[in-house]
Amino acid sequence: MSITARRVGDDDPGVQMSESAAPAPLLTEIDHIAIAVPDLGAAIDYYRDTFGATVDHREVVESDGVEEALLKVAESYIQLLTPTRDDSTVAKWLTNRGGPGIHHIGYRVADCAVALEAVKAQGFRVLDDAPRPGSRGTTVAFIHPKDALGTLIELVQE
């Protein structure tokens, strides 16, 4: 059995396909997979002892009420997040979920403002009206998970 891929309209000569019909890709790479954890030290130990991973960057992000540790994996990161305040969104997320788990996916973009405006122009809800400073000197913005297939998406510009 073989599977043949074809574009919509390939079988209809009345439909003209254009390469410019699709928007230019906004996402350039996966920047990180964020995992929310109640105990950052234990999570770092787990990744070190199980996979030999080491911390590439560690930072407290006061504005988000989290401490993060970034573990380098190829050209991406595993971002371990733990709350530093009970009122942080990560603290609430851990409580509501009942424990650790994948919190969000961060995608690299060439220009966070352009990517955010493209998302907003399509009518999707965002958590940030404008890009803001992120960790390690990045610029970031978040897309609401209800408009992103149930996944919290972070746009990351280096």
Query: For 38-50, what is each residue's pLDDT tens digit?
Result: 999 999 999 999 9
CB 143 within 8 A of CB 120: no
Question: In this predicted structure, what is the pLDDT of residue 11?
Answer: 52
Question: In this predicted structure, what is the pLDDT of residue 1?
Answer: 45
Question: In this predicted structure, what is the pLDDT of residue 13?
Answer: 53
Mean pLDDT of the residues in the chain: 91
Instruction: Specify the DSSP element, H or E, that contains 51.
Output: helix 40-51
- State the DSSP string of 98-152: TS-EEEEEEEEES-HHHHHHHHHHTT--BS-SS-EE-GGG-EEEEE-GGGTTT--
Distance CA(39)–CA(82), nearest Å, equals 7
Active site residues: 32, 68, 79, 104, 154
Strands 76-83 and 139-143, how do they pair?
A: unpaired
Instruction: Kindly state the average pLDDT of the residues 88-93.
Output: 98
Domains in the chain with CATH codes: 27-157 (3.10.180.10)
Distance CA(26)–CA(133), nearest Å, equals 19
Reported residue count of the chain is 158
* Higher per-residue pLDDT: 11 or 124: 124
Please say if the pLDDT value at position 36 is more than 90.
yes
